[in-house]
Chains A and B, each alone.
Chain A
Amino acid sequence: MALSVVLDGRLIDATPDHNLLAAGLRAGSRIPYFCWHPALGAVGACRQCAVRIFDGPADTQGKIVMACMTKPTDGMRVAIDDPEVAKFREAVIEMVLTNHPHDCPVCEVGGECHLQDMTALTGHHERRYHFPKRTHLNQNLGPFIRHEMNRCIGCYRCVRFYRDYAGGDDFGVFGAHRNIYFGRAEDGTLESDFAGNLVEICPTGVFVDKPFSEKFRRKWDMRATPSICPHCAVGCNITVQERSGIFRRVMNRFNPTLNTYFLCDRGRFGTGFLNGAARLTQAQDRQGNALSPAMARQRLASLLREGAVIGIGSPRASVEANFALRAVVGAENFYAGFCSFDAVMLRTALNIMRRIRPATLAQIEGADAFLLLGDDPALVAPRLALALRQVGQRMTATTAPGWLDGVSTRVNVGPALAFTEALVREVTGVAEAGYTAKNLMAAARPVIVAGGDAALLVAAARLVLALRENGVAAQLSLLLPEANSVGLALLDTRTLSDAASAASGNHVIILERDVLREPDTVTRLFATAKSVTVLDHIHTASVAQADLAIPVANFAQSDGIFVNLEGRAQVFFKAVFGAADPPPGWQLLRDAAIEAGRLEVTQWPAHAALLASLAATVPALAGCAAAWPDRQETPPATLPHRYSGRAAATAHLDVQEPMPPVHDDYPFGTTMEGDKTAMPWAPGWNSVQITQLLGAPAAPDVFLFEDRPGSIEVAGETPPDDRVLGVEELSSLSPAIMARQQTVAK
């Protein structure tokens, strides 16, 4: 229901679902606030968002209320610009600043601090408080977060996120009156896998990104580029920030239907590998001799000239790189190279997803009941588990102990498959409905989350279909392994064992992966292949054993697409501009193939051409072309408007300002020129709190699957779940485990 609310003389859109503060901010009004957060709601603690409201035209007095604690009503008039209330808002800032240190110049949040923004907004500029400040000792909270408790202004957001939203219990609020303390009972690493969000939740600098501190730059001194987290199949939207060719940090990027405001710690802190010692920066041969890029490409071209070449794709490489390899070696010679367990599981998952469109994270969070089957989503897809934790009515059941037990009404520990199949019988009326079936059928929007072998996924899908036949709008989400497992599976689903058999006597190109870490044994591949070439951006065991290893760009050095477990094709963009960045995998393969005469010289001149060629060849991935945004006439700038010190930073080498990097093949400008900036920023909103005010995302949302009629079957024979005995690097060196892997590979 739309309400007629007049805010400072302007009619704004308001509904009873949003409080007055949220409605005002959405309408572009500038009301200062601290404790309210769109995901955490209103609690009325900071008293910063005071406004004066008038009940209808007759009311001339009005009254001062907190906007966040006030529901808009029809005919309400609201004044932000009222002298008395403005003075109060200024006074509140002045009061919370009585203990806040004046350390903005040395504070890492300076320049992107919500407290600074709000202070400027209220107009407070002169400190009257002259007494000693209360001070606290900081705690060692582990390798992710640095604690600066003196900066705390007591908004309670951290503890509300950590405990209420993310279910952590090793962090809380202690003490009382002005001696309140947000921390742990004693020093120690924060246990929550979502602790990193404290950095963005805190409106000032109490919780600081520790790895970022080591390579700190001001917000305005970093290039910011929209990207996609490469660390699991959820594909959270992130902003990658760099300066001087060095990756600096990952920040959350708001996507209302996916990760909203939060990332898991693997996503936020796992990207440190970009600066790690394990990076592969130079091409090398088997003996470890360095090769120049040109020489390496020539060697690649020369083996491509020699007839059949087997290509092995990668679920952590882009759709583009995988497709390019497939095009260069030929579809029949391209192997996804999944382990046998994943191959059948993913083939089956695709069968299901073509029939039942996977639930988005927004749909999961909006569900009114969940049922977990098999894997614990907190381990496989942490952000998805956090979404599940917010499910309103938790009439839930899981079939294995896990992180969400605390919010589940029932935990059935036992074989998930038998449990699920029994549920299908109960829902279809073959058997009498028990607790779980009854609750699922009574729910309006239940979501079923399944992770495990192919048979379990099929059973889960059948359960969803049975519920839908009963008129229940059930949703399905399948837990899949890697950032681009779906994108790769849409190209091919054959196993590493298949590839190893085909490799005998042939040249092999392995794309961005360490096949030696897979549970399926592939040592014979290295023994029987004519040669093994690995294209990757990190040193791995496979690189060490390869006859030729050539560096290719990682996700931060290139543009590309991952397809996540929702079937959402998402684009990441080149975010780090180094002096000698390796080419993206698809470009290296294109250039070598052209050199070898395998491709036309005019093949794939630009990224869009590759996507067009992909759409023509692989209809299932045609949507990727739509996911790629067009380049505008004045593209948004990736450098913020105040990017500084460009010449000074390299003045000891050359007094001239370095030329900006050239990268025309993406929809951004690499300089400060541009109407908009890719860094989340707006006038007066320097902090990350701007996210809720941002408009359109960087790239369109494209989903590759739709609901369609059809049957669902297990695609092939389900091998035993071998993920316990084999995946882990050290145990895979044990003779007994190796012997067991041999039996599985047969």
Chain B
Amino acid sequence: MERPLTRNIRPDAPPLDLASYEAEGGYRTLRAVLGRVAPADLVATITESGLGGRGGGGFSTGRKWQAMPTPAERPGPRYFIINADEMEPGTFKDRLLLEGDPHQLLEGLILSAYAVQATHGIVFVRGEYARAIQTLQRAVGQAEARGFLGQNILGSGFHFTADIHASAGRYICGEETAMLNALEGKRAIPRAKPPLPQTSGFFGHPTIINNVETICNVPHIMGRGVDWYRGLGVNGAAGTKIFGVSGRVNRPGAYELPMGTPLRELIEEYGGGMQPGVGFRALLPGGASTGFMQAQNLDVPMSVEAFAARGHRLGTGTAIVLDDRTCPVAFIANLQKFFAQESCGWCAPCRDGLPWVEQTLNAIEAGEGSRAELDLLAEMTGHLGPGRTFCALAPGAMASLQTGLACFREDFERHIHDRRCAWH
């Protein structure tokens, strides 16, 4: 099985420096492409490859790039921003790529920037990822010294610089328009769309924002072609993806697997199944913003389309497993605490509704809840749903609550009836 994204990453060794990365074939694609392949052809290649956003949205990367006006249509600066603000609970796949192979990301960034003719790049890194920030800064310095960043890169006539930006730290900064506000020195609150960042992004200039993992795919697709890339996937999906599993499984961790690998395989084979004496109850397939899936639903291929077809969301593809020794009410309450705390405070239902949900869940968990409050929670999943709030934060929070109320109805009712938590 080919694992292009993680092939250079050794868990027990420091990341490759520039020389070793080049020795492994790195920056070869950059040399082959810059000034030799027309940017529009590269955009077409990425579109054709079926590469989708790996930050959780899954939207076609090529189509995102196509929405950017051309330099002729919109002269002036153009920005390419890497979203490395990995704050989704249970998600740690970008960290692996940032700390493990920084030059892969940089090569992807420069190639992507060339494809959309961006003039400046910014990697927006989660503030707590101190090692990743250091690693990236060192890599940028090396790339600059080698002439991969700067004026007239490799004699191609293409100019591109890049900066590493350490986030001051809010979950909402991972929302691309809130990230733009944060970069501009404003409060990190989402912007209304339209306009999309492609037309009016960083300081009003055309801007692309892509996830780390998405861009790490770019050198491989451009280097080895669409057919090779599509062939990496199984069950009709294209490429590979870093999937993850956390919780009481035998081998929690991140695994690069073909896109389309069945979810059950991730949990039972790669994750090694549940720890001895612990039973499986459900899992969140792609971070805290996705809904619960129970044992009977695990035979679904892990691709955006296959999940969507069954009414699930793949999200970041990093599963959190809920076991039978953990109270599901407390589990959900803990998730809601996170979202209530990370609400930016801009729109009313999210700001004032999530704390209410959190308090209600805590009350039920403590044996102080009522049946009416169970109805209230169900009602709130509608009021904080898609389209009702300004951005996707609250709807993401409601995914686990809505599915949780259905999956664990009996547990909720038992808390209320017994006036105590059976797990405590």
Chain A residues close to B by CB (< 8 Å): 34, 43-48, 50, 63-65, 69, 88, 91-92, 95-96, 98-99, 128-129, 131, 134, 153-154, 156, 173, 175-180
Contacts and interface: CB of A to CB of B under 8 A. Distances in A.
Nearest to B352: A95
B345 A154 contact: yes
B44 interface: no
B38 interface: no
Contact of A92 (B348, B356, B360, B379): B348
B196 interface: no
Contacts of A98: 352, 355-356
Given A43-B192, A63-B387, A65-B387, A178 B347 contact: no
Nearest to A93: B348
Given A48-B348, A177-B343, A131 B390 contact: no
B355 A47 contact: no
16 contacts: A48-B348, A64-B388, A91-B383, A92-B349, A96-B348, A98-B352, A98-B355, A99-B352, A129-B356, A131-B360, A134-B355, A176-B170, A176-B344, A176-B345, A177-B343, A179-B345
B223 to A, nearest CB: 43
A162 to B, nearest CB: 14
Nearest to B341: A177
A65 B390 CA distance: 11
A47 B359 contact: no
Given A154-B345, A173-B187, A178-B343, 9 more contacts: A44-B192, A45-B347, A91-B353, A91-B380, A95-B348, A95-B349, A153-B348, A177-B341, A178-B345
B356 A45 contact: no
Contact of A47 (B192, B342, B347, B379): B347
B375 to A, nearest CB: 10
A177 B349 contact: no
B347 A46 contact: yes
B348 A50 contact: no
Contacts of B347: 44-47
Given A91-B379, A92-B383, A178 B388 contact: no
B346 interface: yes
A128 B360 CA distance: 11
A88 B348 contact: no
A131 B343 contact: no
A131 B353 CA distance: 12
A445 to B, nearest CB: 24
A292 B380 CA distance: 72
A63 B387 CA distance: 9
B187 to A, nearest CB: 7
A65 B386 CA distance: 11
B389 interface: yes
B340 interface: yes
B351 interface: yes
A180 B172 CA distance: 15
Interface of B: 170, 187, 192, 340-349, 351-356, 359-360, 363, 372, 376, 379-380, 382-383, 387-390
A175 B388 contact: no
B356 A95 contact: yes
A46 B340 contact: no
Contacts of B379: 91
Prevailing SS type, chain A contact patch: loop
Given A44-B192, A47-B348, A65-B387, A95 B343 contact: no
A99 B372 CA distance: 20
A86 to B, nearest CB: 12
Nearest to A129: B356
A44 B344 CA distance: 14
Nearest to B343: A177
Contacts of A153: 348
Contacts of B340: 177-178
A48 B379 CA distance: 17
Contacts of B372: 128
A177 B356 contact: no
B343 A47 contact: no
A156 B347 CA distance: 10
Contacts of A154: 345, 348, 351-352
Nearest to B358: A131
A96 B352 contact: yes
Nearest to A132: B359
Q: Which 4 A-B pairs have CB atoms at the shortest separation, nearest pair first?
A: A180-B345, A95-B352, A177-B343, A131-B359
Given A131-B359, A154-B351, A177-B351, A47 B344 contact: no
A331 to B, nearest CB: 61
Contacts of A47: 347-349, 388-390
Contacts of B341: 177
A176 B345 CA distance: 5
A430 B248 CA distance: 85
A154 B352 CA distance: 9
Contacts of A50: 388
Nearest to A159: B187
A95 B380 CA distance: 10
B390 A45 contact: yes
B388 A176 contact: no
Given A44-B192, A179-B345, A88 B383 contact: yes
Contact of B376 (A34, A99, A128, A177): A128
B342 A177 contact: yes
Nearest to B382: A88
Contacts of A99: 352
Q: Which of B187, B346, B379 has the most CB of A within 10 A?
A: B346
Contacts of A92: 348-349, 383
Contacts of B353: 91, 95
Contact of A88 (B344, B388, B390): B388
A99 B345 CA distance: 13
Contacts of A34: 348
A178 B352 contact: yes
Contacts of A65: 387
A178 B383 contact: no
B272 to A, nearest CB: 38
A47 B341 CA distance: 20
A134 B352 CA distance: 10
A490 to B, nearest CB: 49
A98 B349 CA distance: 11
Nearest to B376: A128
A179 B346 CA distance: 11
A129 B363 CA distance: 12
A34 B192 CA distance: 17
A459 B345 CA distance: 52
A177 B345 contact: yes
B337 to A, nearest CB: 11
A716 to B, nearest CB: 52
A175 B188 CA distance: 11
A69 B348 contact: no
Nearest to B386: A64
Contacts of A175: 345
Contacts of B354: 177
Contacts of B346: 45, 156
Nearest to A88: B383
A34 B347 CA distance: 11
Nearest to B362: A131
A95 B357 CA distance: 10
A177 to B, nearest CB: 4
Contacts of B192: 43-44, 69
Contacts of B387: 63-65
Contacts of A134: 355
